[in-house]
Amino acid sequence: MEELLKVNHLEVSFFTDLGESRAVKDASFVIGKGEVFGIVGESGSGKSVATKNILRLGPKNMKVKSGEILFKDKDILKLSMRELQNLRGSEISMVFQDSLSALNPVYPVGKKMVELLRLHNRNLSKTDAKKQVISLFESVGIVDPERCFKSYPHELSGGMRQRIMIAMAICCNPDLMIADEPTTALDVTIQAQILHLLRDIQRERGMSLILITHDLGVVAQMCSRVAVMCGGYVVEQGNVRDIFHNPAHPYTQALIASMPRVGGGRMEQYLERSMTDNRDQEICPFYGRCRHAIDACADTLPTMKTIEGNHCSFCHLGKEALHV
Ligand code: SF4
């Protein structure tokens, strides 16, 4: 696999009046060229915080404490603001969950996209930029692109707005797109359409895609590899097939067991309990909810152990966890 992005030992914290809250802890993962990589976990698992830092987006009280984010071998964390602005949109773009807040409410969506295109290409005339926008709208399946061009975000449906967000994200031909829960706010049928659209665009353009989701079904449908996050840590990582057929970490096992099934499945009781407050302790983030815990789990942080090939798990039990 040819590497495009490498996140190494990333540590991110939020600082408030109440002190420091560690959101991402020692997270490492690699994205290959042309690959669809999933990051899955519950709310508060650190999946969005980890990826927002790839574009250095996030509130002022969020700080990267250590680690590196190498994109084409350059550390994004060391780029100047100017270099970062050149990177955003043109090499790495992002699609957010809440398209209504992400789009500017006082601008017609087409006008905003014309500006965006001309920002990245100052020689582009307004007329040519408009032609490109209309063609981009067509490529993301917008049926009446001329009308959509003049519309304000609130005049469009959620699915239509998400198509606009995707058109914006691909307008400068990025090498990597990050989609943060891109379908969570949509109806089920529209969700499927948007996932198909993302998949088609990714294949046509050979672009890499990071898909952040809490939905393992989306991962199974879209991704080749996945990282599972819990309490700020990456607790399991590997090929989607291995993770689904042979989940090694008790948290992943519980996530898979709690997936809804036709005819109704049994919700695993220990996932119904909310995240335990282990954030400031150097112990397994799943301790307190894990029914396979051993004595060492109460006071020692596990290490990442290889299960097989690129499949690895952050658990004291290692391969034994496969049989718990
Ligand atoms: Fe469970 Fe211990 Fe493994 Fe954590 S390290 S998942 S508590 S067995």
Phi, psi of 90 (to 5 degrees): -80, -30
DSSP state of 88: B
- Pick the residue with more confidence: 83 or 104? 83
pLDDT class for 33, splitting at 50, 70, 90? very high
- Mean pLDDT value of segment 26-51: 94
Q: How far is the CA of 302 from the centre of ligand 1 (A)?
A: 8
End-to-end CA distance of the chain: 32
pLDDT in tens, 92-104: 999 988 877 788 8
Q: Per-residue pLDDT for 305 more than 90?
A: yes
pLDDT class for 89, splitting at 50, 70, 90? confident
Query: How far is the C-alpha of 321 from the C-alpha of 98, rounded, in Å?
Result: 37
Q: What is the per-residue pLDDT for 323?
A: 64
Q: Which residues of 215-250 are buried (b: 16+ CB within 10 A; e: fewer)?
A: bbebbbbbbebbbbbbbbbbbbbbbbebbbebbbbb
Of 236, 320, 228, 232, residue with least CA distance to 282 = 232
DSSP state of 153: G
CB 177 within 8 A of CB 207: yes
**Tokens at 180, concatenated:** 């943060």
Query: How far is the C-alpha of 62 from the C-alpha of 238, rounded, in Å?
Result: 28
Q: What is the per-residue pLDDT for 319?
A: 72
Q: What is the per-residue pLDDT for 275?
A: 58
Of 282, 177, 182, 267, residue with least CA distance to 232 = 282
Please name the helix (run of DSSP H) or strand (run of DSSP E) that holds residue 210, with its range, or none: strand 208-213
Torsion of CA 214, 220, 221, 227, to 10 degrees: 60
235 lines ligand 1 (CB under 6 A): no
Q: Per-residue pLDDT for 128 more than 80?
A: yes
Q: Per-residue pLDDT for 320 more than 90?
A: no
Q: How far is the CA of 234 from the centre of ligand 1 (A)?
A: 13
- Pick the residue with more confidence: 98 or 108? 108
From the CA of 297, give the closest atom in ligand 1. 2
Listed in sequence order, the residues at least 6 apart from 268 whose beta carbon sits closer than 8 Å to its beta carbon are 254, 257, 258
Testing ligand 1's pocket by substitution, the residue of 317, 320, 322 carrying the most ligand atoms inside 8 A of its CB is: 317
Q: What is the per-residue pLDDT for 166?
A: 94
pLDDT in tens, 240-273: 999 999 999 999 999 998 887 665 555 455 565 5
Q: What is the per-residue pLDDT for 134?
A: 96
Q: What is the per-residue pLDDT for 96?
A: 87
- Mean pLDDT value of segment 235-242: 97
**Tokens at 155, concatenated:** 């005049």
